[in-house]
Structure 1
Amino acid sequence: MGPEMVERETIAAVGAGRMGRGMAVAFAYSGHPVRLIDAKPRSAQQFDRLKTEILAELRSIFLLMAEVGLMRAEEADGMLARIHIHGHDDLARALDGVPFIFEGVPETLEAKREVFDTLSRHADPDAVIASTTSTILSNDLQGFVSPPERFLNAHWLNPAYLVPLVELSPGDATDPAVTARLIGLLERIGKVPVTCAASPGYIVPRIQALAMNEAARLVEEGVASNADIDKATKYGFGFRFAVLGLLEFIDWGGGDILYHASRYMTRATGQDRFAAPGIIETNMAEGRRGLRDGQGFLDYDGLDVAAYQKERIGAFAAMLRHLDKMPVKGE
């Protein structure tokens, strides 16, 4: 099989809700045939109504993508034609020959157990089976899949057809080759896969839960208006971290700055949630404060620091232009 065929592997999305539809758009946009499978038993009339609704929504998404310059409007029909919608009764046939299957049914163990039992019986023996769950650990689901080595979690961020990141969480029994196959597929459609342990909240939901709760507390405490909190996160917090990773940012300023800021915030608020984790103090003690030490969370050994800083500042400048927030220059 040549590379052209590999790039056009058929994808199945089991569960025709928001996530299934978003993945269908993402893969169809990149040229993949997609089988979007309704996981709920319905009458023929109910399924026909659902299919009409799904097709209308998918078309509207493609046309919206065209309106914002991601494609041409005349391409919508061709992309939509790559997506075939199957009813629950047609599930076994729809899985035949499909190498990658994404599950997106409701977030209950009962629903997951039922669908994975069905997938285990009807999917091709070497098909990769991935859950898109945002709440259930891969280790808690892996036992529902046979063989368990072909299973892992793949958490997409909504809207799935736009957000590049996909968080992969293999279970303890997942074959590393399965993870590698899924990484390859996602990279071929322009996604940015990352891998994390089977831990509650993956990476992004865990970080953003803390940030969102803190934003809500600022409102609750009357620290700032809703509008100003959102401006601060868009043009300060979000602006920085669209260019620098969080750990990279710690290194940029120095882990010691975070350490002292955390101590101050803990004392000033009386809240332990602001305390720095032990790794920050350990890094300081070991001379790993960040960029100026040549090592921190990242290793800067042999790095042309001036070129690196120039590249990052250039990225910040590009963000300013994108946001139409260039500094006002005097004459």
Structure 2
Amino acid sequence: MQNFNELNYFLTLAQAGSFVKAGQLLGISSSALSHSMKNLETRLNLRLFNRTTRNVSLTEAGQQLFEQLLPLYQAINYEVDALNDFLNTPSGLIRINAPAVAAEAVLYPKLKSILSQYPKIRLEIVVDNRWVDIVKEGFDMGVRLGNDVAKEMIAVPISVPLRMALVASPDYLATHGTPKTLDDLYQHSLIGVRISAGHGSEMQWEFKYKKELITFEPKSQLSINNHLRLQAVLDGLGIAWIAHMSVADTIQSGQLVELLPEYAMTYDPLYLYYPSRRGHSNVFKLIVDALKVKAA
């Protein structure tokens, strides 16, 4: 088994041409370097250097060894540098569990540029409107409304307070009329969402007038628990209760009309939550920093 330190010393000395200069590069004394080279020559039973009082030069054997070793050591250094690139370049998988509104209105808009910038990052967003145990189900992060999470979790706000909006298309309102009160909603086609698959209950709509909380139980003609609910409203199929951040652009463009805004309910912001503050990868930290609400 070769002494790789001695071989490295040999290459450095061959390039520097001086025990003093090579010793400075290696961080050892010139006498220690000279002793190491004598050990190498003794083991190989070959003289590798011609020595003078001021400098050294390679013998024929030394030149052959130098030409054979140099590309191999350069390749090793390249591979070690590649490992540094791996550490410095964000890469790896992050799994996030989030409700539809968070995935569509916050996670995707904020994270899409990261995927373009860092192609080695893999992101898996699982849309689920239920409350799940992210640790048990193998997620790195979760998103929920409000910061009421388990004590061992870290909670980070990722949105402004969540204001809700009743919306319909101009075409729908032209055909069916515009509701003037919440009770008028019972006379309209409603587009709702079920909390879970199968026989899960339909999500109640909540409104607030002055300080009074009003709960409305929709009898929806159509229930969809993903982004197609917004498409159904745009297609004129009925009225939906949707997070304002999801429909702000379509309201501004006139594609949708907000109804009864005086009853609009506002909830706490959406929060990203995850266990512990320790041992997170640079990818994890990059995702958290991209999602959190920046100070004004």
Range class of TM-score, shorter chain: under 0.3
| Greater fraction of residues in strand | 2
Higher relative contact order structure (alpha carbons within 8 Å, sequence separation ≥ 6): 2
How does the TM-score come out when normalised to structure 2? 0.23
The structure with the greater share of residues assigned to helix is: 1
